[in-house]
Every structure is written in C-alpha cells, then in structure tokens.
Amino acid sequence: MKKVLATLAIAALGALGAVGPAAAAPTQPVAVASCVNAQTPGGVKCLGAGQFCSHKAGYATAYKHAGFKCKANGHLTYR
C-alpha cells in the first residue's frame, strides 16, 4: 500500500509541474515501486531484491526491518 501511495504522490507532483526550491533538492531518495526506503548505518537507502548488500555490523538488522536478508553471495533477497 505504501508503494502505491508513493507512486501516486510522485505522479501528482509531476502533473502539477512541481517547480521551485522544494522540488530541486529532495531530502530523501525518491522511492519507486520496486524498492523500499530503509535506514541503514550508511544512511537512507532504497533497497530492492538482487541489489548488493553488506555483511558489516548493523546492516543485517536494517535489512531485516526492511524485509530483506543478505545472502552469502552478497545480494539481497526477500525474507
């Protein structure tokens, strides 16, 4: 449901022709339907299945909260 709302919000901003300082510098990465915004030790990331992942301390918890796990081959997969 969140992915659908995010997609609709992006489409609405595009339809309104968002201009000005607010549209020039977003504070977070823009979410698309194929990824999940997650707070990782490296900052806010848009995570998706198949992307590279880190086995460093703290990342496993962030991936778990977002619904992913880091496989031994270094790629994210759904839990």
What are the mean pLDDT values of the chain's consecutive 10-residue runs (79 residues total)? 61 56 55 81 92 93 94 93
Q: Please, which residues bridge with residue 72 across strands?
A: none
Question: Which pair of structure tokens corresponds to residue 61?
Answer: 């918890």
pLDDT tens, position by position, 10-27 = 766 565 555 545 555 555
Question: Which pair of structure tokens corresponds to residue 51?
Answer: 């992307």
The verdict on 53 and 70 lying in the same domain is: yes
Count of structural domains, the chain: 2
Which pLDDT value is given to residue 34?
A: 80
The verdict on 53 and 23 lying in the same domain is: no
Question: Alpha-carbon distance 35 to 16, whole Å?
Answer: 24
Q: Which residues contact 71 (CB under 8 A, 6 or more apart)?
A: 53, 77
**One-letter identity of residue 3:** K
The verdict on 39 and 16 lying in the same domain is: no
The verdict on 48 and 76 lying in the same domain is: yes
What's the whole-model pTM score?
Answer: 0.58
The verdict on 22 and 51 lying in the same domain is: no
The verdict on 39 and 21 lying in the same domain is: no
The verdict on 21 and 47 lying in the same domain is: no
Q: Domain range for residue 3?
A: 1-27
